[in-house]
Amino acid sequence: MTIEAVIFDWGGTLTPWHTLEPREAWIAAVADADLADRLWQAEVEIWRRSRDEHRSGTVAEVFDTVGVTATDVMLASLREWWEPHTFLDPDVPALFAGLHERGIRVGVLSNTLWTREEHERIFRRDGVLDAIDGAVYSSEIPWSKPHAEAFRAALDAVAVVDPSRAVFVGDRPFDDIHGAKSVGMHAVLVPHSEIPDVQKGPVEGEADAVVQRLGDVLAVVDALHRPRD
């Protein structure tokens, strides 16, 4: 078996999980508690839809749902509130480098409301954007994990035809592990996140491996990977 790519979830996987009150982000964005409540409820509904219908959403949709046009100031305030919670796990640069040294491509598949541009800004800030060979963000496709089409889009992004030649690494037993296994990928669980009840799915996939730190993913991949002669 030759592993051609390892694809990672973002929040809670490449970035450590932080237990937060996301409503506060909307208060920071609009400085109005009543409006922040409506925005937060709109976001909760998008995540419910993602869980139950596997359909994606965007920050723009959250604002549109409550009839508000987002200003540059609002969006900047929203980003500023989230910024401290977006920094990479310290293991990531060496992990990406180790995968590339083995001839294995690196991908990202994230359920997110944010744009590609925002994620690329974050990866550029942390010095790993050029180490990512392909990325798919649910905000730019119709589906969210665990929908098979979301995983197929990620496989296409890293030029993998046979799902069994790819590994998915994530923190969510439903979105990440169940979704990846359902399309024939290997799956590695990083069980560090306190998943909100509204985002928990009805089933949990069975991971091929469980790791307690991201750096341990290399050993899992090495056990699967047999380079071509």
Q: Are 117 and 105 in contact (CB under 8 A)?
A: no
Q: What confidence score (pLDDT) does residue 154 get?
A: 98
Locate CATH 3.40.50.1000 in the chain: 5-17+86-224
Tens digit of each residue's pLDDT (9 = 90 or more) over 5-48 = 999 999 999 999 998 888 999 999 999 999 999 999 999 999 99
Tens digit of each residue's pLDDT (9 = 90 or more) over 109-125 = 999 999 999 999 999 99
Of all residues in the chain, the percent with pLDDT exceeding 70 is: 99
Q: Is 175 left (phi over 0), alpha (psi -120 to 50) or beta?
A: alpha
List Cα–Cα distances, 111 to 14, 136, 145, in angstroms: 13, 9, 6
Residue in 156, 151, 153 with CA at minimum distance from that of residue 170: 151
Tell me which fold the domain 5-17+86-224 belongs to.
Rossmann fold (3.40.50)
- Residue 229: which pLDDT band, with cuts at 50, 70 and 90? low
Tens digit of each residue's pLDDT (9 = 90 or more) over 155-198 = 999 999 999 999 999 999 999 999 999 999 999 999 988 888 87
Residue in 105, 116, 97 with CA at minimum distance from that of residue 160: 105
Give the pTM.
Answer: 0.95
Residue 228 predicted with pLDDT over 80: no
